[in-house]
Amino acid sequence: MTALLGLATRLKLAKLMLITSARTQTGDLAEFAAAAFAGGVDLIQLREPQAALEVQAAALATVEKQAGHKGLVSAYGPTEVAAAIHADVAQLSALDGPAAEARAALGQWALIGRACHSPAQVDAALADGAVDFFTISPVFNAAGVGEAGLDLVAYAAQVAPPATAKPWFAVGGVNAENLDQVLAAGARRVGVTRAIAAAPDVQAAAAALDARLTQAWGQDPGMEQAIFGAF
CB-based burial, 209-219: b 16+ in 10 Å, e otherwise: bbebbeebbee
pLDDT band, very low/low/confident/very high, at 5 (cuts 50, 70, 90): very low
In 118-171, alpha helices (H) = 119-127, 149-159
Q: What type of residue is 206?
A: A
Domains and CATH numbers, the chain: 7-75+114-122+133-230 (3.20.20.70)
Alpha-carbon distance of 200 to 202, in angstroms, equals 6
pTM above 0.95, yes or no: no
Q: pLDDT tens digits, residue range 28-71?
A: 999 999 999 999 999 999 998 888 888 899 999 999 999 988 89
Q: pLDDT tens digits, residue range 163-205?
A: 999 999 999 999 999 999 999 999 999 999 999 999 999 999 9
pLDDT given for residue 3 in this prediction: 44
pLDDT band, very low/low/confident/very high, at 147 (cuts 50, 70, 90): low
Backbone angles phi, psi at 79, to 5 degrees: -55, -35
Cα distances (Å, whole numbers) of residue 87 to 14, 77, 212? 18, 11, 30
**What's the sign of the alpha-carbon dihedral 84, 11, 167, 117?**
negative
Rg of the chain (C-alpha set): 16
Angle at 43 between CA 105 and CA 201, to 5 degrees: 145
Q: What is the mean pLDDT of residues 12-27?
A: 95
Which carries the bigger pLDDT value, residue 192 or residue 5? 192
Alpha-carbon distance of 226 to 123, in angstroms, equals 21
The neighbouring-strand residues paired with 171 are: 191
